[in-house]
Chain A
């Protein structure tokens, strides 16, 4: 009997200690109480670009999970100078870590250095600044993404029997200064070069703004309905329904070929309607979630992450469009 009691006691004690250890290891998350008061600031390229919302939600959840405070700050519109100013103020306010999607790759070098000199580790996501001394980059390989979308376009053109024709092509990007976007263009051009005959008629810059991208697209197609191919380096105009893009819809109906990078529910709807032929998407969720965790673990435990953390690419074409529509939720932001 005594042995039984002892066994029970020891077992209870072990369970208790185990639970105690487990709970002890968990960050105590309560509203207003954070484990070590870490504040991690994310800077997307702009608040007004909905593409970062996946990362935003994921980062919030991860922050809550890790018991850190998340700051998510950016100029509403693309503004390199203001982004740098914000980083300066984050340094002044004494945040514990910074993860930024860089607007101007060279412009941030000095402020990143300043942050690091003040003991604030800096990482990049989505748009990198390789020469800045940042801790790590998390995101897609933008050049490879450009190549993949270029390859996809080649396949589409060949499937339409247009590979011998010279196709007038318009490229829509955010800013020519954005490294990630330029890498996507470079990859695209390298992929299509020699495979199809693309004549790059225009490269439009929408300043990383949804509204401007829509206006530019519609106006361009009004004036240049003869363009054959449009390559969207990012998914800025995809946040609206096709009713808001009548010229684009008409152009697509008349055989215009559009491909783009950024994959989300509204874009998939446009693809489903036939306005877009191929989409490649980034895993923004991982950028937000994993990016935060890697930095927090570095700050807390000194775990040095890999310099480049590649998040995967997602392809959307006519074969999997329906499935993807079920997976991706509507954003309903526009």
Chain B
């Protein structure tokens, strides 16, 4: 009996192996997996690099929880609130999954912000990684877009008034503002068409763009390798030229060693992605997912009363990540100032943020040696934090 079982098992494994060989011959999967797992990453600063992979994991978590929500949600002006109310009250795991979707978005925004801050401070956006930064910055804005369109969908009081406020913002863009508002709303006012269009933006247009840019971002990351911080490239010997030449000669894939500043061509010490970095990435992602699980269950996601467009008492408040912008709106009380403040200052700021690698062209990577970007960057970061705190204070004392 045992001999028969062993024989059957051997045949089975042989078939599987043959099948895999067939598959591998056509797809090159083994090479792909090896390439993915056994690439060099800088040894120092490994915990800081986990933020990028955590961002990807959190986006995938949003995708999965979003698919579950889609099974119940009805994107109709009349039924949207009912479907979510049913999900919250009658579905066994509905409230939990919805809570995870909300808290997942919160944690995602926080982590992607920290990831960009790390990249900014370590000057990882410099040649040849300019497009890594551009794609990452676009991804950041896409995530913010997904978050705000998601907040509009429940069609409770908060969702409805968020829709009214947000779809009105394009109105302040000179010349084309009204046309954009009408296109989004499907008319002059918020109505059923606004919801279906916002729903389409949330689940089709923005995710399509998001995953396209994620693909590009990952490809570029693999092409140029991880750049941690200048400390990975510090010189230790008395003969810097020889040390750099030796490092470049021994550079492992994927580090490019040509046509860039030789000092920053290859890190001093590297380790293989698997198992060293992958272990840390997995650990951080598990911790974050655990936090989202707990918060999704304990705090959940709020669902206000069904939207009442005629109400005069409801005070709409923005999500926390839009508080700085909201505070800027409060401080810009007239139409032309809103146009200037929100589209002029914020627009120029956002453009400068995306195009940062093309504005900071020096070879310097040490933070203190490039104050021309560090000082304005930190100033803006602090200003955003201060505006958010002041926004919280204002809303608390409404």
Partners in one complex: no
